[in-house]
Amino acid sequence: MATNLDELFQLIRQGTDLISPEQLSLIVNELHRTKTKTLLVEALEEFQDRTEEEVEWESFRAREFKKEVENDLRVSHYGADIKAEVRNLINERDLDVSPDSPLFKQLCRAVLQAWVLHYEDAALIVKGHLDDPRLYGTGSNIEEIKAPKASGKGVLIFKDSIETYLAEYKRNWTDKHYSSQQAKLNHFLDFIGEGDRNKGEQVALQDVSSSDVRSYKELLQRTPSNASKRHPNKTVFEVAETADSDRNPRLSATSITKYIQCLSSFYTWAMKELDFEGKNPFLGRGVSSASATSKRAERNPFSRQQLKTLFSSPIFYGCKSLASCYKEGGLIPNDSNKYWVPLIGFYSGMRQQEILQLYLEDVYEKDGIWVMDINKNHPDKKLKTPQSKRVVPIHRDLITLGLIDLKNQRSHPEESQRLFSDALMSSDGTYSSTFSKWFSRYLKNTDVKTEKTSFHSFRHNIKDLFRNAGESDEISESFVGRTTGTTGERYGSGYRIERLDTALHQLQFDEFIDVQRLKSRQQ
């Protein structure tokens, strides 16, 4: 009998008709592990200062979703989403399994069982039990990675432990997230090594004390933002000393907490996977709720006046040039991503990366409704979470302004197949980094920018519009591809495109933007 996944998939390739319950559990555990790890990483990144109402609501949804999946298992109902997940598994593993075969049905049941287990984990995650060992015991692949060396009996040093930690998670993290976590860990190594990273790498995990953590937090509070870019050749201590003289903004309470959470997650992993027997000195040591702002307060929606100012600014009504698009002139750059991305963000709540990575094939008509398909069908595409994969209806105002015309103009074999080919990929592997910096400068130059407004504010705006129109949170969250603990890759709760389109066109966008006047400026 096959005893691991590779052997099992080889058995399936050889034409087995059925697999045993023990073999099926191998697939269940792997799917379960992947789903829970994705949700756990998201929670560690995004959960902060949630209200009791949010926690209770998300817990309720996790329980309800679990009941739905259990019922589907009981009655052998395999919905389109489940079959699609099985087809993806078959394609990824190069299997030959007919959709009409008993084995395909077994794989559907494996996916359902994995969702049941995942929603049990989701119930723990949304309640804030992010260090619960049960979340880390779902078939880890740690045995596939070289174990770290010890500097003595039972002693784990940072260098090898961190290398193993990053190697395991590299397969699940985006390049950008991987680089971010690596930088935070290295920052601490510089600190614990007294400015010498090589020295810090040789420190044992159990040698970090609560006093060290307190000193590290004090250092972070003195550290300017983007310090490594501004002072690449200075130690972390030298960088902190320059903060006052440079008058640069320091790390926010949220950023400091992310540094601490990164190290806490590393220690939790070491306790589970490397049998580290010491304590986690970073656990619960993030910035307190009293000093950290809530997630909602970090980014505000744009105000009515800010939106009116933005959508009557030079890039929409006539600018000097693309390089000087904040200055008035005669150019309407309605073939540029700088013109379209803010409009699409406002009318859809889509993230910058989701918009900029659209291909021409992703904009199409479905059941008489024009849509944007957010997917990972090309190697350069990235999705923040599994739930980001969705189909979003296009508002009629965007069609009036010429979005479909733009697609048609660019549908030529000799041209790039991306909708916004003028947006180039940044060094971090995303299209959004460069655009984000430009958009922040543009908001500042047009007097729209505040400390709490950014492109992400559009997501808050559309959620407020849905709420004002009387639509449910489920609709708005499904529309923007958002997760808050239980949304996960939300099985069994998708909305038909007609329903989303109806909801979208109930929103009162005309209170903030004059589309007909905007259209007339293009003439």
Range among 29-43, 118-132, 141-155, 183-197 rated most confident: 183-197
Closest alpha carbon to 52 in 227, 252, 297, 294: 294
Q: Outline where 384-454 has alpha helix (H).
A: 396-400, 403-409, 432-445
Between 18 and 346, the higher pLDDT residue: 346
Closest alpha carbon to 162 in 181, 143, 144, 137: 181
The confidence score (pLDDT) of residue 386 equals 74
Residue 241, pLDDT > 80, answer: no
Angle 158-169/253-273 helices, nearest 10 degrees?
100
pLDDT tens readout for residues 258-271: 899 899 989 989 99
* Average pLDDT of every residue of the chain: 84
Closest alpha carbon to 431 in 493, 378, 490, 358: 358
Q: Which listed CATH number (1.10.3470, 1.10.30, 1.10.443, 1.10.10) goes with 304-522?
A: 1.10.443
Give residues with Cβ within 8 angstroms of 437, minimum separation 6.
none
Report the C-alpha gap between 165 and 276 in whole angstroms: 13
Residue 254, pLDDT > 60, answer: yes
DSSP secondary structure letter of residue 170: T
Residue bearing tokens 């829970």: 36
Closest alpha carbon to 226 in 195, 190, 192, 187: 187
CB atoms within 10 A of CB 22: 11
Closest alpha carbon to 375 in 41, 49, 44, 84: 84
The confidence score (pLDDT) of residue 448 equals 93
Residue 353, pLDDT > 50, answer: yes
Report the C-alpha gap between 213 and 209 in whole angstroms: 7
Give residues with Cβ within 8 angstroms of 418, minimum separation 6.
357, 358, 359, 360
The confidence score (pLDDT) of residue 289 equals 44
Rounded to an integer, the average pLDDT of 12-29 is: 88
Angle 21-46/5-13 helices, nearest 10 degrees?
130
The confidence score (pLDDT) of residue 444 equals 94
Q: Outline where 311-377 has alpha helix (H).
A: 314-317, 337-348, 352-356
The confidence score (pLDDT) of residue 245 equals 63
Domain regions of the chain by residue span: 5-127, 158-295, 304-522
Q: Outline where 127-174 has alpha helix (H).
A: 158-169
pLDDT band for 415, please (50, 70, 90 cuts): low
The rounded radius of gyration (Å) of the Cα atoms in the chain is 25
Rounded to an integer, the average pLDDT of 327-351 is: 96
Q: What are phi and psi of 369, to 5 degrees?
A: -120, 125
The confidence score (pLDDT) of residue 491 equals 39
Element (DSSP H or E) covering residue 264: helix 253-273
Report the C-alpha gap between 465 and 467 in whole angstroms: 5
Element (DSSP H or E) covering residue 363: strand 363-366
Report the C-alpha gap between 436 and 454 in whole angstroms: 8
Residues linked to residue 319 through DSSP beta bridges, in sequence order? 328, 331
pLDDT tens readout for residues 268-318: 899 988 888 888 998 877 664 444 444 444 578 999 999 999 999 999 999
Residue 476, pLDDT > 80, answer: yes
Residue 489, pLDDT > 60, answer: no
pLDDT tens readout for residues 381-392: 888 877 788 999
Range among 85-89, 321-325, 350-354 rated most confident: 350-354
The confidence score (pLDDT) of residue 28 equals 92
Residue 213, pLDDT > 80, answer: yes
Residue bearing tokens 């849905």: 466
Which of 49-53, 120-124, 222-226 is predicted least confidently?
49-53
The confidence score (pLDDT) of residue 155 equals 78
Element (DSSP H or E) covering residue 68: helix 52-75
Rounded to an integer, the average pLDDT of 51-64 is: 76
The confidence score (pLDDT) of residue 152 equals 47
Between 111 and 472, the higher pLDDT residue: 111
**Environment class of 258 (CB within 10 Å of its CB; exposed 0-12, middle 13-18, buried 19+):** buried
Report the C-alpha gap between 149 and 108 in whole angstroms: 41
Report the C-alpha gap between 5 and 227 in whole angstroms: 44
In order of 42, 348, 441, the CA distances from 288 in angstroms are 20, 34, 31
| pTM for this entry | 0.52
Rounded to an integer, the average pLDDT of 495-518 is: 93
